[in-house]
Structure formats: structure tokens, C-alpha cells
Amino acid sequence: MAPTSIRGTAQEDLWILKVNDYTTDDDLTVINVEGEIDVYTAPKLREKLIDLVNKGKYHLLVDMEKVEFLDSTGLGVLVGGLKRVRAHDGSLELVCTQERILKIFRITGLTKVFGIFDSVDDAREHRKKQK
């Protein structure tokens, strides 16, 4: 599936968020996110999460390895996505190894809410063990 991008300017800064997804053999939908998840770009991620849930994709893995920045709006979108999939007995987990992003999850206590993995493969292995 082709990546979805959003571009624009905010106070002469160029901002972009690339979001694409694919479903693995074990019905896990991986969402690759690249760029900044902030007040300007978070709606694009929200739309993607809503679209996937509306299509019956309830086990989501957001790969944040190429995310450069995450603000409270982005956190809100992820929490909203989690609530949406949990309403269908689903899951939303994350791939993130970047200390500056992980720190945000630690400070907010969201490490207790989200499963956070070092790689897509680690998350898939964990999912297999849960079945």
C-alpha cells in the first residue's frame, strides 16, 4: 500500500508525516510512521487508525522507529487508537527504541498501558506467545 503523506508549513517550517500499513500472516497490521507526530500531523495518524479499525483490523502495531518528534497530541491519538481497538478486544502496541521518545512514554506512565517492543519481529513473537 502506498504511503500517505501530509505536508504543509507552520511558521516557515516544513512538516511531514508518512504513514503506511501492511498486514502480516498472523493478522497483525503494522503501521509504519515516519516524521513528526504533533498537533499539525496527528490527525493523519488518527484517520489511519480509525480507517483500519473500520476495516476490521483490531490488532495494530505502530512502528515508531522513524518518528523524530512526538507531542501530547500524538500521545492522545495513540491512546484514542488503543481505546478504539480494545472496544473490539484488540490491541495496539508500539515499536520504539529511541530514548527521547521512550522518555515521553515513561514520564506519562504510558509504558504501563502500551506494549513497547524493540522490533516488529519481537512484537510478533510476543503476540504468538499470547495466543
Residue-wise pLDDT tens for the chain (131 aa)? 445 544 444 443 456 789 998 887 778 999 999 999 999 999 999 999 999 999 999 999 999 999 999 999 999 999 999 999 999 999 999 999 999 999 999 999 999 999 999 999 999 999 888 87
Which has the closest alpha carbon to 48: 5, 16, 7?
Answer: 5
The grid cell for 74 is 500524538
Model-level pTM?
0.87
Quick check: 19 and 50 in contact, CB under 8 A? no
- DSSP H helix total and E strand total for the chain: 4, 6
Neighbours of 118 (CB within 10 A): 11
d(CA 9, CA 46): 20
Q: What are phi and psi of 93, to 5 degrees?
A: -125, 170
